[in-house]
Amino acid sequence: MPEVTNEPIKEENENKQPEENLNETLPGSEDSGDQNENTEDNKIFFTTTSNQNNSSNGSMSIQPGTFKIGPKGEVTINWLWDGGGYVGQVGIFSLKGMENLEPGSEEFIQEAVRRVLSNSTEGYLVIDDLTEGAQFSGKLPWEDDFNKGEHKQKPPFKMEPGDTFAVIIVPNGTFEEVDKDPGLLNDPKKRPLFSIDAANPNGDFQGGQIADVTGHGSVFVMEDIPAKQGSDKDYNDFIFQVTGAKGNAVKLDEYIDPNKDWRQVDVGKDLLEKAKQVIDQHPEDQLIGNETLEGGEGDDTLPSGSGDDTLPSGSGNDTLPSGSGDDTLPSGSGNDTLPSGSEDGGSGELPGGGVEGDDTIVGTEGDDTINGSAEDDTINAGAGNDLVSGDEGDDSLNGEVGDDTLCGDAGDDTTVGGEGSDSLVGGEGDDSSSGDAGDDTCVGGTGNDTLGGGEGDDTTYGNTGDDSIEGGTGNDSIAGGKDEDTVAGGEGEDTVCGDMGDDSVLGEAGDDTAIGGQGSDTVLGGDGNDTLYGNVDSDSLEGGTGSDSLCAGKGDDIANGDEGDDVVNGDIGDDTAIGGQGVDTTVGGEGDDELYGNTENDELYGNTGNDTIYGGKNNDIIRGGKDNDVLYGDLGDDIIYGDMGDDTLIGGEGQDVLIGGAGSDTFELASGLGTDSIVDFVIGEDVLSLSGGLTFEQLEIVQGSGPQAADTLIKLAGTDEVLAVLIGVQASQVTSASFTVV
């Protein structure tokens, strides 16, 4: 094997700095995996073993200079700054399967280079200084601007979730050169350098080849000269940001020359601000391994990481955040906080049922199962498709992102589905549930519940109790359930049903279908072209604005079309049907109904039963239907059909056409209301009724002439006023026997 040189080297355009007296132990890191006190920020944190030959998942354990890949298996490397005079390349390589290779040996280096060139889940070439540039550039006070070429953000690199990778640099050359000529390992300008310090010349885990710029495990800088053999300690040769993986390295403050701190100049500040924005969008966890952390009796903070963690709390008021792995977070007897979550997801089981304390639980970004306690819990499920149960107590449940199932169980609970298509069940108690965004299903359970679908096409059922339901936006389906409910569709084309009980049903905005259901209901269509059903019992229906269709159903109902061109059907029972404003069609249905045309040219049908119909203003068409009806034309030139039965036809003001139909009909005449044309008057069967003080002696009965030669004219004697024209009737047949006085 060729000898690998450890001689000091110096990069062009960089001044050699005096060698620092470096500590032999990575600050803030131990070999135990126990919890340690970091006196710098006075927080409790956990580290895993740095023994490179001990791994539970087939890859190297987390040690300085390595990166743990998140559950998505997608790693992004963004080159932020080029501060080195060398022109080289940077690669990443998986450590899985390299446990038996000695770091720094020729075999280790050649395998790392091979993996970089494989362009596979084993490794990738991520930065090529020969062909591309960094995102930021500028001249620093102590050196020139070395950035050349166009910055090109590469897509994420696919790697195995949970594996560990390291970074490798060829300072002044290419990986292909090193792969083809192992002798270059003795060339101080081409000999690869590693983020793992033990793989570098004279490496001894001092950890200074790579440094963490921000302390978040996301932004790193690597020197392209060995940190202990001539580096200028300005730590700006390769600055890059990593997402989709968590890095472990010494902090930059430990090693950078304070006289060459690029973070204090404008371009450095811009770079850090950009990096911070990415960090905020991709938060990472502090723990990575499969850990068991126990809180004890005090008030503990027990953070977890991306592994499969078990975090049992004690009797104090504990904080138990979980990470991206499959975590188990049972609470104790105190008022516990069980938050969790990471950028890359995971799943968790967070049982807390049956224990004491008002708990706060925050789920992971995976698919969690979370159970609250017997007290008043607050549970935020996080991202993922979660299953959340509040158990007893007055709980607050928020599904947040994902298709969640939230069960409030006993108590007066508040549940919010958040984004996604959620299922919410209130359980016992007076609950408040909101589906929020997405196509949600909300069920109130027992109690007097307040339910809101929120955005999306929601399905909501109040169940038992006096419930208040608001559909929100979207095309919703709502049923109030038992008891006396108030249900409103909100915006969108909704189907709203009061179901059982005396309910208030509101379609509101949109073309809705509103159904009263069983009970004496009030059904309001609101804006839009609505369809309203009263169903059974005595209901009140009002169409509102728009062209509505109303069917009152069984019972003695009141149905009002209100504004628009409506169709109003009283259906079964003694109904009051009102067309309202607009050109309406009003049908009485079965029973003794009252029909009102109101304004415009309306059509009114009594159907069966002894109906009373008022045409209202304008030119109406009125049909009595079966049985004995009383029909008023009111104002306008109306056409009135008595149809079957002994009907009374009253034209009112205007030039009306009266058709009695089958049966003994009565046609009412009065002075000053216009001339009525009676089409089918039958002598000896039908009657002319005189109102307004008229008597038979005041009348003049004459045979018509011209076009009316076959008709009889009934005139007010001594005037030109014609009260009625009897079509096809001879005047000689009309006697006082055909008249009656009201």
Q: Are 314 and 294 in contact (CB under 8 A)?
A: yes
Phi, psi of 737 (to 5 degrees): -65, -20
Cβ contacts of 299 within 8 Å, gap of 6 or more: 316, 317, 318, 334
pLDDT of residue 196: 87
- Kindly report the CA angle at 522 between 566 and 530, in degrees rounded to 5? 30
Whether 250 maps to a domain, the answer reads yes
Give CA–CA dist 154/158, Å, rounded. 12
Q: What's residue 348's pLDDT? A: 46
DSSP state of 120: B
Residue 260 has φ and ψ, to the nearest 5°, of -130, 35
Q: Phi and psi at residue 706, in whole multiples of 5°?
A: 60, -135
What per-residue confidence (pLDDT) applies to 326?
45
Listed as own residue / partner, the contacts of 649-654 with beta carbons closer than 8 Å and 24 or more positions apart are: 651/676, 652/615, 654/619
In this prediction, residue 68 carries a pLDDT of: 93
pLDDT at position 189, please?
Answer: 84
Q: Which of 343, 310, 303, 302 is nearest to 326 (CA)?
A: 310
Q: Residue 620 and residue 336: Cα distance in Å, rounded?
A: 73
For β-strands 495-497 and 513-515, DSSP reports them as parallel
**Burial classification of residue 714, based on how many CB atoms lie within 10 Å of its CB (0-12 exposed, 13-18 middle, 19 or more buried):** buried
pLDDT at 169: 92
Parallel/antiparallel/unpaired status of strands 164-170 and 89-94? antiparallel
Q: Which of 382, 378, 353, 354 is nearest to 368 (CA)?
A: 382
Count how many domains the chain has.
1
pLDDT at 126: 92
| Residue found under tokens 């003794």 | 592
Q: Where does 474-585 have alpha helices with state H?
A: none
* Domain membership flag for residue 276: yes
What is the pLDDT at residue 383? 87
Structural domain that includes position 117: 63-281
- Residue 722 in domain: no
* pLDDT for 578: 97
CB 473 within 8 A of CB 457: no
The single-letter code of the amino acid at 172 is N
- pLDDT for the residue 267: 59
3-state secondary structure 279-326: HHHCCCCCECCCCECCCCCCCCECCCECCCCECCCCCCCCECCECCCC
Q: Residue 528: inside a domain, yes or no?
A: no
| Cα distances (Å, whole numbers) of residue 705 to 683, 710, 712, 730 | 21, 8, 9, 12
Contacts of 468 (CB under 8 A, 6+ apart): 448, 449, 450, 451, 485, 486, 487
Q: What is the pLDDT of residue 82?
A: 74
Asked whether residue 189 is domain-assigned, the answer is: yes
Q: What phi and psi values does residue 276 have, to the nearest 5 degrees? A: -65, -40
Q: What is the spatial distance between Cα 42 and Cα 40, in angstroms, rounded to a whole number? A: 6
How high is the mean pLDDT in each 10-residue block of the chain (742 residues)?
34 35 28 30 24 33 76 90 76 95 93 96 92 72 64 88 93 92 85 87 55 67 58 63 84 64 64 55 42 42 45 48 46 48 42 55 83 82 86 85 87 88 87 88 89 90 92 92 93 93 94 94 95 94 96 96 96 96 96 95 97 97 97 97 98 98 98 97 98 96 96 96 98 97 92
- Cα–Cα dist 742/736, whole Å: 14
What are 612's strand-pairing partners? Answer: 594, 630
* 0.75 surpassed by pTM: no
Residue 219, pLDDT score: 74
The β-bridge partners of 405 are: 387, 423
Contact 406, 385 (CB under 8 A): no
Residue 670: what pLDDT? Answer: 97
Strand ordering across the sheet containing 157-158: 157-158, 74-82, 238-243, 219-222, 210-212, 250-251
Q: How far apart are CA 109 and CA 197, in angstroms?
A: 13
Q: Tell me what pLDDT residue 720 has.
A: 94
